[in-house]
Amino acid sequence: MKTIGIIGGTTWVSTADYYTLFNQKVNKALGGNHSARVILYSVDFDDVMTFKAEGRDDALKKMMLEAANLLDYAGAECLLLGANTMHMMADFIQERITIPLIHIGEETAKVIAAKGLKKVALLGTKVTMEKDFFHNKLAEYNIESLTPGNKDRDFINNSIYTEFSKEIFTDETRARHTEIIAKLVQKGAEGIILGCTEIPILLRQKDFDIPLFNTTEIHANAAVKFALES
């Protein structure tokens, strides 16, 4: 079994989900007492928020690259960035480490393409929804991507940073997200990408007729597949 490396803490809430998923999936595949081989580097999310607020993108990149290099040196055989938003620097990091970076956007695009969907909506932080690093991965698989309107993007972004990152999930916020999804379906969305690793904790497939793509689980699946390949 290969060793999975993950940069977590972005946020710790979803990082806990990643760790659970790795071990559940490895144990299901191998049985017995098997669990995943994982090296976790967890950053202080307050540092991330401070760098972003101050526009210090170079400092954020440096911190994430240092974490990636530590995982590489420690023996990780692949790297996961445990947040969709951090994939804005995925190419920067991949160019500077020796192990493969498993990209959450590409793995999600593969799953959507396999289902034959051509038009999906992307929910996440404003960075994920508005920058091109996730949209471009979808486009590579001929998938058109929609995002909510400005006010809805602001609401989702605010929910992520003021509620979900602190493990706060309310019925009111869930209802508003459901309304946003309904608007996107009216615009032709055939599926919804839960493009923030905390959103799948809020929204469950059983409550929707349209397929929801849980990027946390998709990402974890790809990592475990890599780890178990001979």
Among the residue ranges 38-42, 154-158, 166-170, 190-194, the one predicted with the least confidence is 166-170
The reply to whether 108 and 209 lie within a common domain is yes
- Which pLDDT does position 196 carry in this prediction? 87
Count of CB atoms situated within 10 Å of the CB of 39: 16
* pLDDT above 80: residue 197: no
- Which pLDDT does position 173 carry in this prediction? 95
Closest CA to 108 of 66, 137, 78, 87: 137
* pLDDT above 90: residue 184: yes
Please give the residue range of the domain that contains residue 8: 4-103+218-228
- Which pLDDT does position 27 carry in this prediction? 98
Helices (H), the chain: 12-30, 45-53, 57-74, 90-94, 104-114, 126-130, 133-140, 150-162, 171-186, 199-202, 215-228
* pLDDT above 80: residue 143: yes
**Overall number of domains in the chain:** 2
> Which secondary-structure segment (H or E) carries 225?
helix 215-228
Edge-to-edge strands, sheet with 4-8:
38-42, 4-8, 78-81
**pTM value?**
0.90
Q: Which residue has the higher pLDDT, 113 or 53?
A: 113
The reply to whether 175 and 89 lie within a common domain is no
CB 210 within 8 A of CB 181: yes
Structure tokens at 18: 């990643």
- Rounded-to-integer distance, Cα 169 and Cα 194, Å: 15
The reply to whether 99 and 178 lie within a common domain is no
Among the residue ranges 25-29, 121-125, 201-205, the one predicted with the least confidence is 201-205
Region class of 188: left (phi > 0), else alpha (psi between -120 and 50), else beta: left
Averaged pLDDT of the chain:
95
pLDDT > 90 fraction of the chain, expressed in percent and rounded: 87
The reply to whether 224 and 198 lie within a common domain is no
Residues 71-91 have a mean pLDDT of 95
- Which pLDDT does position 167 carry in this prediction? 87
Residues 58-62 have a mean pLDDT of 94
Read off the CATH number of the domain in which 82 is found. 3.40.50.1860
